[in-house]
A and B are shown apart, each in its own frame.
Chain A
Amino acid sequence: MTDKMNDGPIAEMTFEAALAALEQVVSQLEGGQVPLEQSIALYERGDALKKHCDAKLGEAELKVEKIVAGGDGDSPGSAPGTAPFNTE
């Protein structure tokens, strides 16, 4: 894990990078190696990373719903669609 990955602008991070950075933050906080004065800033960065991950997940879910809804006019909120499994 590079410092650059952990310290970079969160808004520009991919989901994978943000999750990896979040895991590093949690590991540091749980490991007790972070000075008291810095622990709150680290926690708050972790919180921002979590929110970024949540937002990225939300975007991905929306895309999946649109794909599942397909081009037949179903709304994204309807039950997941299935294609017939035709072995012929």
Chain B
Amino acid sequence: MSVLILTHPSSHAHVTPPGHPERVARIETVDRVLAAADYADLPRAEAPAASDDQIGRAHDAAYVEMVKSSAPAQGWASLDPDTHMCPDSLEAARHAAGSNIAAVEAVVDGRHKAAFCAMRPCGHHAEKDRAMGFCLFNNIAIGALHALEALGVAKLAIVDFDVHHGNGTQDIFWSEPRVVFASSHQMPLYPGSGASHETGVGNIFNAPLNPMSGGREMRVAYEGIVFPALREFDPDLVMISAGFDAHRDDPLANLNWGPEDFGWVTGEICKIAAECCEGRVVSTLEGGYDLDGLASALRAHLDALIAHVETLG
């Protein structure tokens, strides 16, 4: 039993316009990392497609229909200035959402202690009724709501260390006391939300980080804000929105995290999962646009997840 890796070929078919940072080369980089000897033996599963009903737990029905009807026959359709659909994007988005459903099922029923969804498009900017920031469906929210509504999980936590605030996940769980959402992110930066005073029903914990700050400041924020909130909430499942764009080389942000910082934060989140919920962790790929930075940060993340599972025995 180790870290389950969820993939699907459709992640490669979601082609964005030339020059777009959220590009096929990202998932090719992820694939190369996962093919390395250290990870070649990890168990794999093909991500299923999420149904309309499963997606509809997180999104308004009218929004789901809008996305479905927006897929172009050729070229691209733009849902916002950042977010584009090619003819195969809808299938990719369904499988990216479905990967989170399969991952929570595998972890909640005990087949695996941890899972990583190596999928795109990313999801954490997608709100209930709005595509934003490269995201069509909110993959982690769809997985979380499946855990709550279909698997009997009473409460869960989502930690988002993508460099951009997870406004979509915050929007979907703003009034949901069964979910704690904790996010670290550069501020000011896109999408502009994520201030400390945005607290939902006492279930939202935002830890904005100053531009140019690095691992030391990040540790202070997590140890002061995020980890105490997680421990007090005592979740039955921990999910991670794993964006790797806080890496110092990322072109879309100004934080200065190194691979060791991604490893540290992952390891600490896993320790809390071990304390609270027998180590159950589901992680999903969000951003990360410098390919070498993405690869090194992902390796640190995977190494921490694997070490966590090995510690659990």
**Which residues of chain A have a CB within 8 Å of any CB of chain B?**
26, 29-40, 43-44, 46-47
Contacts and interface: CB of A to CB of B under 8 A. Distances in A.
Nearest to B192: A32
Contacts of B251: 40
B82 A43 contact: no
B121 interface: no
Interface residues of B, number: 22
Interface in B109-153: 125, 132-134
Interface string B170-194: 0000000000000000001111110
Interface in B1-56: 20-21
B81 A39 contact: no
Interface of B: 20-21, 80-82, 125, 132-134, 164, 167, 188-193, 211, 251-254
Prevailing SS type, chain B contact patch: loop
Contacts of A34: 190, 192
A36 B192 contact: no
A38 B164 CA distance: 13
Contacts of A30: 188, 192
B193 A40 contact: no
B188 A36 contact: no
A77 B192 CA distance: 42
13 contacts: A26-B188, A29-B188, A32-B192, A32-B193, A35-B82, A36-B82, A36-B134, A36-B252, A38-B81, A40-B189, A43-B188, A44-B254, A46-B188
